[in-house]
Amino acid sequence: AQTVTQSQPEMSVQEAETVTLSCTYDTSESDYYLFWYKQPPSRQMILVIRQEAYKQQNATENRFSVNFQKAAKSFSLKISDSQLGDAAMYFCAYRSVLSGTYKYIFGTGTRLKVLA
Amino acid sequence: DTGVSQNPRHKITKRGQNVTFRCDPISEHNRLYWYRQTLGQGPEFLTYFQNEAQLEKSRLLSDRFSAERPKGSFSTLEIQRTEQGDSAMYLCASNSLKGTGGNEQFFGPGTRLTVL
């Protein structure tokens, strides 16, 4: 069974600085998707960025980028030029491609605090 | 822009009572998912539907839980004889098999259940 681990329960970053959130996962599959979702306080989760395992190039979305290390099963999220609105819970999620299931497997989350 | 909606947003009930939650997915989405999120944890998969067919159920979904999606549109999640351990945020998500990009799931705001 696949598992997702986020080892940082909480992180803090100064406004305008850069922060990296860690995520590792375990799977025996070769093809899958990885996601980072943001959950602001009392608001719904929204997708931040996705990565397809068969693509070696790291995904980027504006200030958000990932460092995808397939062999190491690592998928970290880098937030550049942090803004107050980035404060939220961040969840890393895995989705199988081959097994026929479309469910997400989530990590336990990292709470990001942005300091003014 | 109508996203995924869930009702009620909050539900307080006494142990032993039955509760029902509703999820309205994005209209063109044929897949609908239910997750449960307890404090300090990431969402855990409960079940999903493709149109009106329930295709997968987690072992977390005990026989006190039942989900339906009768016409392939909205879905209901019922919990019978609630227990204090059922207290959690119940999240609904939807997506479509069409399109690209890993079939991102779009999440609703959740229903927070408190069992006294």
pLDDT tens string B61-84: 889 999 999 988 999 999 999 999
A106 to chain B, any CB pair closer than 8 A? The answer is: yes
pLDDT at B100: 53
| CA A77 – CA A35 distance, rounded (Å) | 10
Which regions in chain A score pLDDT beneath 70? 99
pLDDT top residue among B102 and A31: A31
* Residues in chain B closer than 8 A to A46 (CB atoms): 107
A45 to chain B, any CB pair closer than 8 A? The answer is: yes
Check CB contact under 8 Å for A102 and B102. no
DSSP secondary-structure letter at B76? E
Per-residue confidence band for B102, with pLDDT thresholds at 50, 70 and 90: low
- DSSP string for residues in A65-96: EEEEETTTTEEEEEE-S--GGG-EEEEEEEEE
A56 to chain B, any CB pair closer than 8 A? The answer is: no
* Residues in chain A closer than 8 A to B4 (CB atoms): 44
Q: Using CA coordinates, name the residue in chain B closest to A54.
A: B102
Per-residue confidence band for B99, with pLDDT thresholds at 50, 70 and 90: low
pLDDT at B20: 98
pLDDT tens string B10-66: 999 999 999 999 999 998 899 999 999 998 899 999 999 999 999 999 988 889 999
pLDDT at B24: 97
pLDDT at B1: 55
pLDDT at B114: 97
Check CB contact under 8 Å for B41 and A109. yes
pLDDT at A36: 98
Residue type present at position A31 = D
| CA B9 – CA B112 distance, rounded (Å) | 6
Residue B14 burial (10 A CB sphere; 0-12, 13-18, 19+)? exposed
Residue type present at position A14 = Q
DSSP secondary-structure letter at B86? G
Please provide residue A10's backbone torsions phi and psi, each rounded to the nearest 5 degrees.
Answer: -150, 140
A32 to chain B, any CB pair closer than 8 A? The answer is: no
Within 8 A by CB and 6+ apart from B66, the residues are B77, B78, B80
- Is the model's pLDDT at B106 over the cut of 70? yes
CB B93, CB B32: distance < 8 Å: yes
Instruction: Give the closest-approach CA distance of B84 to chain A in angstroms.
Output: 21
Lookup result for tokens 């449960």: B36
Check CB contact under 8 Å for A52 and B102. yes
* Residues in chain B closer than 8 A to A94 (CB atoms): none
